[in-house]
Amino acid sequence: MDRNDPIAVPLQVLCYPEGRPSGVAAETGDRDGSAIQEAVDVAVQHAFNFSHGAAPASGAGRIIHWPWLLDTGTRLNFSVDDLFELIRRTGTAPDSIRQLILSHRHIDHFGLGAAVKARVGCEVVSSAVDGPFMADWQGMALGSRDLFRRSGTAFGIPDHLFQVNEEWAKGILMMAESVQSDRLVAEGDVVVAGGRNLKVIECPGHTEGLVTFFDEQTGVFLANDHVLQHITPNPDVYDYDPDHLRSGLPDYVDSLRKVRDLPVSVVLPGHGFEMTDLAARVDEVLFHHEQRADKVAGIVAEQPRNIFEVVNEVWPTLRERDAHLAVREIIGHMILLEREGRVARDWDGDVLVYRAV
């Protein structure tokens, strides 16, 4: 894709038109430049998603500009003003945005959604599964955190880690506002954005309601966090209740296979630069998960272990604040391995213990 094609410009490309990995200079006229520099830093460090398009569509003999925005970034060191300044750099007037499409329920994707909607009065489009979560973000996030905490004993998580997680959660809650969607979409729906037809492809796993968008005409695949170039997305745990444990990892693997052979010309991910070889990247991620599954199976084959013991074996130098992400991934692998008949679980008092079969 020509980077000048305005259909979708990832934030990183916008910040680094030459593809530079870091160190963009502040531009004259950016107030003192610090806000944009900070936004750029956030983009690099937190690598949030921001794509936008401003495609001219012809209608009744005239050109209609119909800009749209895909995801917004968080409120962390970033504001609607900063976001709009970045959009202005593309030559698009941010006030003319008609649609805001939100790919999934993560704060780095919808954090500023309510503020953008309030500023420009655009239609907000999201998935039927993640939309209601984003509409009651604080309530849903607190509920999920409380359930994680109540279930923590079953996973062998030491109490002090919940304190760390509590601090982290407080920060997270500040980084997004609830946002109401005007339209909820599902598999096969088409979102007409900037005169383009973006087909909705549901890709649950990273979150339960993550949706990707495919422009069949140009082959542009807006993958957000489903397929990333340098990292493997963390699969969500849909339900932490040990009796109804549900992880996104099995879905994630299915969703990868689902998009592997799409006839893409370019993949625009939510973080990092674009890719062209989707199948190769999907194969790499699938291979990574297979290797991780074998490692987990090997660990419980040595001796039965609980979830947190496995976490410590897989990541011996894990930062405490990342422990819950690691717990999520291991829960996912245990569910997959149980499904494949490679491990089984038993209760040892209040703790779930997994053993090789």
Footprint on this chain of Zn ion (rule: CB under 5 A): 106, 225
CA distance linking residue 36 with residue 28, whole number of Å: 11
Sole residue written with tokens 């398009």: 53
Task: Please tell me the distance from the alpha carbon of residue 121 to that of residue 126, in angstroms, as a whole number.
Answer: 16
Cα 242 to Cα 269: distance, rounded to the nearest angstrom:
33
CA 68 to chain centre: 19
Query: Distance (Å, rounded) from C-alpha 43 to C-alpha 57?
Result: 30
Based on the number of CB atoms within 10 Å of its own CB, is 162 exposed (0-12), middle (13-18) or buried (19 or more)? middle
For Zn ion, the closer CB: 196 or 281: 281
Min dist CB 236 to Zn ion, Å, is 9
Q: How far is the CB of 206 from Zn ion (least distance, A)?
A: 5
Structure tokens at 328: 């999520």
Q: Are strands 190-193 and 99-101 parallel, antiparallel or unpaired?
A: unpaired
106 or 342: CB nearest Zn ion = 106
Q: What are residue 196's DSSP bridge partners? A: 193
Please give, one letter per residue, the 3-state secondary structure of 204-263.
CCCCCCCEEEEECCCCEEEEECCCCCCCCCCCCEEECCHHHCEECHHHHHHHHHHHCCCC
- Is the CB of 325 or the CB of 356 nearer to Zn ion? 325
In 3D, which of 75, 79, 67 has the Cα closest to residue 9? Answer: 67
CB of 70 to Zn ion, least distance (A): 13
70 - beta bridge partners? 51, 101
Cβ distance 222 to 210 under 8 Å?
Answer: no
Smallest gap from Cβ 331 to Zn ion, in A, equals 18
Nearer to Zn ion (CB atom), residue 106 or residue 281? 106
37 vs 49 by CB, closer to Zn ion: 49
Residue 57 or 325 having the CB closest to Zn ion: 325
Using Cβ positions, the residue closest to Zn ion within the complex turns out to be 106
In whole angstroms, how close is the CB of 104 to Zn ion at the nearest point? 6
Assess contact for 73 and 50: CB atoms under 8 A.
Answer: yes
Least Å distance, CB 309 to Zn ion, is 27
* Contacts of 203 by beta carbon, 8 Å cutoff, 6+ apart: 210, 211, 212, 226, 255, 258, 259
What minimum distance in Å lies between the beta carbon of 271 and Zn ion? 8
Nearer to Zn ion, 130 or 225 (CB): 225
- Smaller CB separation from Zn ion, 152 or 233: 233
- Minimum distance of Zn ion from residue 106's CB (angstroms): 3
**Smaller CB distance to Zn ion: residue 106 or 345?**
106
CB of 185 to Zn ion, least distance (A): 18
